Structures are given as structure tokens and as C-alpha cells.
Structure 1
Amino acid sequence: MLDVGFQVNGIFAGHTPLQAAAQNGHLDIIRLLIQHHVNLEIEDKDGDRAVHHAAFGDEAEVLELLARSGADLNARNKRRQTALHIDVCKGHFDVCKTLLSNGAHPGIQDSDGDTPLHDAISKRRDDLIIILLEYNADVATCNNNGFNSIHHAALRGNSSAIELILSKIQNRQWLVDEKKDDGFTALHLSALNDHCLVAELLLTKGNASINAQNISLQTALHLAVGRQHLQIVNLLCSKNANVNLADKDGDTCLHEALRHHTLSQLKQLQDVGDSGRVYIYVKIMYGSIKKNSCRM
């Protein structure tokens, strides 16, 4: 067909022959098309090029061939996704490795601002997180919601991702306490969402600042008490969190506990705070509650 005027860059059913061959792993056809000077960078209606189609098809050998032939591995489709984004989301480890070893950039952001590392964290793929970190994916890059990779892992409760990231940023300890625009650190996010193992890793392996305050002057303990996350309250109190810090409204964690009737949390706070104050607050705000109720 190629000898009788076949158009190597023609569009058939919305795709070029190269795009179709790339997604289906037809290496011989791809080689033939390349010999006839096929355009490697034509986009379909979604902005996907041959490299994207190879990514969809989990075709590592095709991507290797396209890379050797000069295809742009960092090309982005209309969702601003690279082939690497696609393969991380689909869990195609071998293709991800091929892309990275051939120069694909691990830190390009899609239309949501997510990097492939954000996606790997969401998918809970430790193997992909490891290889992305090996190729120097930047954990400090923030998505459109202001989440860097540590924030994102804390939000998702991905403790293994937290551990892997902490092992790679020992010379950038400040990242553990990096704040979003609202002042939330990773520890705030783990406390808010009841991810106790994540919080423990941030404190023990990341040396997170336990008393860091957000723009509302809330600590992680304020948030854990407010959400009635007893396990996190216990963890933070056992690590000597300051129970007397006040938020922007002047409320301490004790005020917060009383507001939510969480007497079991009061017991945790009482163990590290002023038991006299606990009883006074209970007496003033809930006159019907007896002193023994706080002591359990």
C-alpha cells in the first residue's frame, strides 16, 4: 500500500496508522511507517499522540522504538497528561521504566497540577513511587489545590508513600513542615482525616513540628479533638503536644473537647494538662456533669 500512494499520515476512524499501530504493539508496521517518514507527533481529537497511544496499550517496546526515532516523550494531550501520567494511572510499571530511562520528565504537571508522583500516591503504587523518586521526581511540586507530594500522601492516608518520601528528603527536612496556603501541614492533614499511622511516621521519622499552627492558629491536636479522632489525640498527647495553645478564637483543645462533649478526649488532655482546669471547664459549661465523669 505504501508504494501506491498510501498516506502514512492519513486519519482513519479518528486515528493515524501510527497511533493505531502504537496502541496495539505492531512493531513491524511502526518500523515501516518510520521508514516512510511518518509524522510522529500528530494528535488525535483528544490531543493524544503515538506515545500516548503506546502508553494506553502498555507497549514498552513501542515506546522504546518511538523514543529512538525522536518522538517527544514529554508531549501533553488536552488534559495536559504525558505518556508517563497515563502509565502511572494505569499501573504499567515496565512502560514507566522505559519512559524514564529514555528521558521522560518525572515532574510535568497535568491540568489539575498533578505530577506522576501525585498519581502514583493516589494509586498506592509503591513500585512506581520508588522509581519516580529514583529519577528525582520533585516532592515539593504542588498541584492546583496546593498539595505537594507529602501533603497528598497525608491526605490520602498513604503511609508507605510517606515512609518512602521521608527516606528521600533527609537533606530537605523543611518539606515535612511545609504549609499550604491555609497553613495546613502534612501533620494537620493526617490529624484531620484520622490517618494515625501517617501522623506517627511524620512525628517519629519526619520530626514534624507537633505544635505547628495553621492560619486559624489550630494545631493538629485542635483538629483531631474537633473531629473526635481519639487515636490521634492519644498519639499527639503522648508526644507532648501543647494542649494549651489557643486558636484565633482563643479556644484551646480543652475548649474544643467540651464543645463536642468528648469526655473521652478530655481524659487524654487531662493526663498531660491541668486537671483542675478540666473540671472547672466542665463545671461551667456542663453543670450537670460530675467531677468523676472526667476521671473515668
Structure 2
Amino acid sequence: MTQLLLELEADANLRGTHGSAPLHLAVEKGETEICRLLCRFGADTDIAVDSCKKNSPSTGWTPLFVAAQSKHADIVDLLCELGADVNPQILDGRTPLHVAVQKGSARICGRLLQAQADPNARGLKAGWTPLHIAAHQGHTEIVIFLCDSHADLESASSDGRTPLFMAAQAGHPEAVDLLISMGAAIDTVISIATKAEIALQASLG
């Protein structure tokens, strides 16, 4: 049916009432072959959701964001092969790589990095890089992928926290050991912790 409609020159980029295109919907449902078909008939791999709701969390989401969120690795492969932009940013600054790390999908993270996704892009209000998220969640395999792709071990969030500090704070000893073995500076963690302790003592009088 999809092929028939496209052969009858239906618009492959026609948006629905919520600002999504057919490719967004096919990606969300994990329909790899329909995605391939839509792209063959002119679907824009970088088409972004254009929500009518101001500041909607889905605004700006390209099919690659949807694939990362839904953990459809085969579709991520397809979109990367077709040349989709791997570094678009949504309203809060996140990229598809941020989303893939949040979902804990090492395979998708690896594929995005292979396609030149930026391991040091900053997103969320605190300015977290993908490595901050991986460290905070204890995803050691993803930490390795990111470090192998030259993620900045000393990148500080807007409140001064490094990935190592976040791994320690969240109670992930394996991630802590891994980051130290990769060259993360433990002095930074001690410095941040000391400043926090001083601030706490000051607030207590």
C-alpha cells in the first residue's frame, strides 16, 4: 500500500497534525523496509518535527532522534548510510548521540560515532556531554566508545562537574575505575568535592 501511494506521487514528506512526517512514524514503529522505501521516493532523512505546540519536547526531532529514542539500531544504520545529519540539536541542545546514551544503547552509540557524531556536544540545562550521561548512568561500554572517539575527559558541566565526578557521585565504581584508567584527573574530583563541602559547612554556620 505504501509503495502504491508513493508510485501515485503521494508526498513522502507530508506532515500530519502533530508535525511528524511519514518517515518519523515508520522509524518509531521500527519498519526498516518502509523507511527504505520512503527514502527511495524522496523522504527527507533530516526532516524535523514541526510541532504546533510552542516548546514541545518533540520539536526539532529528526528521524535519527526517533530511531535512537526507540532503539531501532537497523534504522540508525540505514539513516547513516543514506547520509542523515548525525549532529542536529533540539531545543535543549541534545543530539541523537545524547539520546542513544540516555537509552543505554551501545550499538547505536558506536554507529553514530562511526558516522562522526560529536562526542563533545553539550546538551540539557547543565551542559552535559554524552560522556557526562554515560558516566552518570554507569554505561561502561559506552564510556569506552566515547573515549576511543576522543571525548573530553575533563569537560565540565555548567556547575563544574566532570564525568569522573558524576560517576563517583552516582555510585558507579566500575565507571570511576575506567575513567581513571583512561586518564581522567582525580584531582579535579577532589577539588570539586572540597568546594562542595566548604559550601555546605558555610551554609550550616
Percent identity between the two aligned chains? 24
Change (3 A) 1:245 1:279: closer
Partner AA of 1:156 in structure 2: S
Aligned residue type for 1:245: S
Show CA shifts across 1:76-104 (max 9, x none). xxxxxxxxxxxxxxxxxxx1000001100
Counterpart in 1 of 2:32?
126
Report the alpha carbon displacement of residue 278 of structure 1 after superposing the two structures with TM.
Answer: 7.4
CA distance in 2, matches of 1:151, 1:270: 31
1:48 aligns to what?
none
Question: Does residue 22 of structure 2 align to residue 113 of structure 1?
Answer: no
Among 214, 219, 244, the residue aligned to 2:123: 214
Structure 1 residue 227 displacement after superposition: 2.0
Cα distance 1:276–1:124, how it changes in 2: closer, same or farther (>3 A)? closer
Post-superposition shift, 1:275?
A: 5.4
Give matches, 1:34-73, under 5 Å.
Answer: none
C-alpha displacement of 1:283? 9.0
Letter in 2 for 1:132: L
**Relative to structure 1, is the Cα distance of residues 276 and 140 closer, same or farther in structure 2, using a 3 angstrom cutoff?**
closer
Deviations 1:151-200 (A, max 9, x none): 1111111111111111112xx6xx21110011000111101111111110
Structure 2: give runs of 5+ residues left out of the alignment.
52-57, 196-205
Mapped to 1, the partners of 2:32 and 2:192 lie a distance apart of 47
Q: CA deviation digits over 1:217-248, x for unaligned, max 9?
A: 21001111122222212221233311100111
What is the TM-score with the length of structure 2 in the denominator?
0.83
Higher RCO (CA-CA < 8 Å; seq separation 6+): 2
CA contact (8 A) 2:30 2:75 kept: yes
- 1:166 partner letter: C
1:149 to 52, 56, 63: 63
Alpha-carbon shift at residue 282 of structure 1 (Å): 11
State the 1:274 CA deviation.
3.9
CA distance in 1, matches of 2:178, 2:188: 11
CA RMSD of superposed structures (Å): 2.1
Greater C-alpha Rg: 1
Distance (whole Å) between structure 2 residues aligned to residue 230 and residue 284 of structure 1: 26
Q: How many residues align?
A: 186
Match of 2:44 in 1: 138
Per-residue CA deviation, residues 44-86 of structure 1 (Å, 9 max, x unaligned), is: xxxxxxxxxxxxxxxxxxxxxxxxxxxxxxxxxxxxxxxxxxx
Paired residue secondary structure (1:266): helix
Deviations 1:130-166 (A, max 9, x none): 1001011112222231211111111111111111111
C-alpha separation between the residues in 1 aligned to 2:161 and 2:153? 10
What TM-score, normalized by structure 1, do the two folds share? Answer: 0.59
Instruction: Output the CA distance in 2 between the equivalents of 1:229 and 1:166.
Output: 23
